[in-house]
């Protein structure tokens, strides 16, 4: 598991999704009750596989000499509340952060979006001052879960979220899939922003039947995209 997490973390800067140390990937082993995550604040070019930190499901360190990512409490909340997911990614990728700073979700404007996200990638509300001051990272996880619950969204159908004023989180069944979803989110975030420069948001919206076609040709029992 450490190797998978290490390699997934290294892909973030290669894909242009992070600068400096602005990102992290984790993976959960639910059978063993373990999470593996990137260490906090360690430059990617200096990071080693052995630096990956192993914690329990509450974020308590079980193995490793370094502190885990400061976002580990957020990851823990997502693993606890979204039991189907196996890995989580957080970045401060430029285009997704633009939407976070604007406080807007990313609507489905095209089939590139629809291939991965079955509808709008939501944006959370602002955290309150108390939430930020008392238990910031835990409350970040909670506001993500709150957003999905209030909007009645399936975290497997929309494996991403924009945290207001902060940035994106994505997830998947493996670290590699979660990173792929982060990369796709960044691409559609940029596409959506430029689309709104050319036409109104209403004019950009993808018809529901085309959203259905592109999402379900890749997902579900009737999927036919790719090799079987």
Closest by Cα among 135, 210, 140, 208 to 169: 140
pTM of the model: 0.95
Residue 228: its pLDDT value, please? 66
Name, in order, each residue with C-beta under 8 angstroms of 128's C-beta and a sequence gap of 6 or more: none
In degrees, to the nearest 5, what angle opens at C-alpha 112 toward C-alphas 196 and 159?
Answer: 100
Burial class (CB in 10 A: 0-12, 13-18, 19+), 32: exposed
Hey, what CATH topology would domain 1-217 get?
L-fuculose-1-phosphate Aldolase (3.40.225)
Q: What is the pLDDT of residues 72-92, one digit of tens each?
A: 999 999 999 999 999 999 999
Could you tell me the pLDDT band of residue 227, with boundaries at 50, 70 and 90?
confident
Length of the chain: 228
Calculate mean pLDDT across residues 33-39: 97
Task: List, for residues 187-224, the tens digit of each pLDDT value.
Answer: 999 999 999 999 999 999 999 999 999 999 999 988 99
pLDDT > 90? residue 41: yes
CB neighbours of residue 132 within 10 Å: 13
**What pLDDT, in 10s, does the model give residues 172-185?**
999 999 999 999 99
Residue 71: the pLDDT is: 97
User: What token pair was written down for 20?
Assistant: 């400096």
Q: How many helices (H) and strands (E) does the chain have?
A: 8, 7
pLDDT band at 18 (very low <50, low <70, confident <90, very high): very high
Question: Which pLDDT score, from 0 to 100, does residue 64 have?
Answer: 92
- Give 88-106 pLDDT, tens digit per residue: 999 999 999 999 999 999 9
* Nearest-angstrom CA–CA distance, 193 and 95: 8
Mean pLDDT of the chain: 96
Helices (H), 15-154: 72-81, 94-102, 111-114, 129-150
Residues annotated catalytic, as ranges: 115, 225
Q: State both tokens at 224.
A: 């036919």
């Amino acid at each position: 598991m450490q190797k998978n997490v290490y390699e997934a973390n290294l892909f973030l800067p290669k894909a242009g999704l992070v600068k400096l140390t602005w990102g992290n990937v984790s993976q959960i082993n639910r059978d063993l009750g373990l999470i593996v995550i990137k260490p906090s604040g360690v430059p990617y070019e200096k990071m080693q596989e052995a630096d990956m930190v192993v914690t329990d499901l509450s974020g308590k360190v079980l193995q490793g000499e370094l502190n885990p990512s400061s976002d580990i409490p957020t990851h823990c909340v997502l693993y606890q509340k979204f039991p189907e997911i196996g890995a989580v990614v957080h970045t401060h990728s430029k285009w997704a952060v633009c939407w976070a700073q604007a406080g807007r979700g990313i609507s489905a404007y095209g089939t590139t979006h629809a291939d991965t996200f079955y509808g709008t990638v939501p944006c959370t509300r602002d955290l309150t001052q108390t939430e930020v001051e008392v238990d910031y990272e835990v409350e970040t996880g909670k506001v993500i879960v709150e957003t999905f619950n209030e909007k009645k969204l399936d975290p497997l159908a929309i494996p991403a979220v924009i945290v207001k004023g902060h940035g994106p989180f994505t997830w998947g069944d493996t670290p590699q899939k979660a990173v792929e979803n982060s990369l796709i989110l960044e691409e559609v975030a940029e596409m959506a922003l430029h689309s709104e420069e050319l036409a109104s948001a209403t004019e950009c919206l993808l018809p529901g039947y085309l959203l259905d076609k592109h999402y379900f040709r890749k997902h579900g029992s009737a999927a036919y995209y790719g090799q079987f």
